[in-house]
Structure 1
Amino acid sequence: MEQMELSHQRALKRLERFSRFTDSSIGIPFTNFKLGAESLIGILPGVGDLAGLILSSYVLFEAQRLGVGWGVKLRIITNMLIDFFGGLIPIVGDIFDMFFKANTRNTKLLKKHLAERVE
């Protein structure tokens, strides 16, 4: 049991680093706002959003590896698709990407689910 919990903690640490990089690694000077690599990649029409979707699939991969049920995985996929299709809208989609932060949402979702499973 402790081995599994340690494995979950390591996975969550990886996901938190990944989410920080993709969603909030770059601070905007003179503000408290941060955006991530995915927001910058998303500026490229179509291709950037597809790259963001591919990057976001890492969270889904980790969820599968951790044995998370389909209910949680469907919520992760929903967030990924909202982020992808929202990002496709010219100009507005780029702003949407800066605020939606799907990877951070999905990592929190996984963290909460795993914490509930341990209790």
Structure 2
Amino acid sequence: MPIELPLGTDAMSVRQRVEVLEKVLERAFTIPGTRQTIGLDAVVGLVPVAGDVISAVLGLYLVWEARNLGMSKFQLARMLGNVGFDAMVGAVPFAGDLFDFVFRSNSRNLRIVRRHLDKHHPHTRVIDA
């Protein structure tokens, strides 16, 4: 089932893109026999150096989308801090890979974006069934 992402710059399109990106990066796969989910961030992070760089770049895309929404500098700084902290600790061999399972910077950043959208663009809210 292909995922169609809207290409618009309106708040609803941005919300859909960042939610899909967060799901792919943090919750794309379920570990067999458990309810624990992992995403591309944790899987790519297993590749030394290049994996951490790729994860950071994908996380920075979320921040870029937030900037385009006109979010405050404080919110953007928090999001950059989440991505930077994740990249810095994720670069430590083995311990950084375990850290990726616990500290989900993209999920934290999505919460910041959702709060902003719910406050400033309430028409973009989606009620989950």
Give the alignment's TM-score, normalised by structure 2. 0.83
Give me the whole-angstrom Cα distance separating, in 2, the residues matched to 1:55 and 1:29: 26
Kindly tell me the number of residue pairs found equivalent between the two proteins: 114
- Structure 2 residue ranges without an equivalent (≥5): 1-8, 123-129
Which residue of 33, 44, 59 maps to 2:62?
A: 59
Q: Is the 8 A contact 1:49 1:87 kept in 2?
A: yes
- The answer for the alignment partner of 1:44 in structure 2 is 47
Measured against aligned partners, the alpha-carbon deviations of 1:13-71 in whole angstroms (never above 9, x if no partner) come to: 11111000011101001111000011111001111111111111110110111111101
Measured against aligned partners, the alpha-carbon deviations of 1:77-98 in whole angstroms (never above 9, x if no partner) come to: 0000111011011111001012
Q: RMSD in angstroms over aligned alpha carbons?
A: 1.5
- The answer for the alignment partner of 2:79 in structure 1 is 76
Identity of aligned residues (%): 27
Secondary structure class of the residue paired with 1:45: coil
Q: Is the 8 A contact 1:12 1:107 kept in 2?
A: no
Which residue of 3, 9, 17 maps to 2:20?
A: 17
Which residue of 100, 104, 109 maps to 1:101?
A: 104
Which stretches of structure 1, 4 residues or longer, exceed 2 Å deviation after superposition? 116-119
From the two aligned structures, give the one with the greater helix fraction.
1
Secondary structure class of the residue paired with 1:84: helix
Q: What is the one-letter code of the residue matched to 2:40? A: A
